[in-house]
Amino acid sequence: MRVFWKRHQLLNHLLLLLGVAFLALPLWLVFASSTHDPGTLIREGMQLGFGGKFQETYYGVLTEKKGFTEQVTAATMMLNSLILGLGFALGKIVVSMTAAYAIVYFRFPLGGALFWVIFTTLLLPLEVRIIPSYKVVADLGMLNSYSGLIIPLIASATGTFYFRQFFRSVPDELLEAAKLDGAGPWKFFIDILLPLSRTMMAALFIIMFVVGWNQYLWPLLMTTDESYNTIVLGIKSVMQNIDGNRLPEYNRGFALAILALVPPVCIVVFFQRWFIKGLLESDK
């Protein structure tokens, strides 16, 4: 018995299954409960089994402007999240790749100083300077706009360091050869470095999309106009309205959380290999 137990590594499997259940069970409860009607949830608490109201609840949440806010549907909020995630990921890649290229491949008078300026942004997350950042964005008239939502988040230089590491690992011979063939800095960047960086870009894109989609504090400050609300932010309105209602629509709140969760989870699972590569190489 003992040998069987050991040979098949049952203890490992048991602990891992417990771990997987610890991660998945809470969300399963939320999902299963979202398919019941609110009456059942109020009487019997959260449900483990699947209810019959999946289509009704999710269709309602995605298309109706009621329940948690009066002005937007979950579909609009998901679109806003998509814009934030894509804009943030693309913006970050473009800005940090070009900056890293300048820092690694050029010797120019201000280079060293600028590198240190970029470096300091790693030290201070947005959360510690939210109020003055809010004031700056308000002074620039960028409240309730996609650019105000996205650009200040790009200020941190994690991506720049990620590409700097990568560019430094590209062999010098490539540049020598390119120079011999008469390629200028622009051509070298477009024709050689960009194609070489494809996987690195994809990996960073996946991580940054998830990070952008999941933002909370900054969109909370930036978007007083509900039509700019992201789906993650929609959770806050659910939370504020749910307990005040005579018949709290828990099911709709849960459905909203599931809708906020599914896109980033799909991306992480489908692109797992790139995602892990990006994660391990961006933070070191």
Partner 1 sequence: MKRVTFSHSPIPYLFVLPQIAIIAVFFLWPSAEAIRLSFFLEDPWGLSNEFVWFENYQTIFEDPEYVGTLIATLIFSLSVTFLSLGLAMLLAVQVDGLLRGGGTYRPLITWAYAIAPAVAGLVARFLFSPQIGPIYAWLNPEGQPPWFEPNLDSIDAWVVVTSGAVWRQVSVNFIYLLAGLQSIPRAVLEASRIDNPSGLGRFWSVTFPLLAPTLFFLMVINFSYAFFETFAIIDTVFPFGPPSGAASLVYKVYVDGFKGADLGGSSAQSVVLMLFVLALTVVQFRYLEKKIHY
Q: Segment 202-231, which members bind partner 1 (CB under 8 A)?
A: 210, 213-214, 216-217, 220-221
Nearer to partner 1, 66 or 273 (CB): 273
Binder of partner 1 out of 32, 86, 90, 261 (CB under 8 A): 261
Binder of partner 1 out of 61, 149, 260, 282 (CB under 8 A): 260
Give residue for tokens 């994690």.
158
Contact segment (CB under 8 A) with partner 1 among 19-27, 50-58, 69-77, 194-202 equals 19-27
Between 137 and 176, how does the x/- string for binding to partner 1 read (CB under 8 A)? x--x----------xx-xxxx--x-------x---x--xx
User: In the numeric block, which tokens belong to residue 15?
Assistant: 């602990």
Contact between 68 and 233 under an 8 Å Cβ cutoff? The reply is: no
Fill in the amino acid letter for 249. E
Nearer to partner 1, 62 or 114 (CB): 114
Binder of partner 1 out of 74, 118, 203, 208 (CB under 8 A): 118
For residue 200, the minimal CB distance to partner 1 (Å) is 17
- Helix (H) / strand (E) containing 111: helix 111-120
For residue 274, the minimal CB distance to partner 1 (Å) is 12
Site for partner 1 in 230-259 (CB under 8 A): 232-233, 235-236, 238-240, 243, 248, 250, 253-254, 257
Site for partner 1 in 50-89 (CB under 8 A): none
**What gap in Å lies between CA 141 and CA 157, rounded to an integer?**
25
Which residue, 56, 55, 50, 59, is CA-closest to 31? 50
Close Cβ partners of 45 (under 8 Å, ≥ 6 residues apart) = none
Q: How many CB atoms lie within 10 A of CB 157?
A: 22
**Count of residues for the chain?**
284
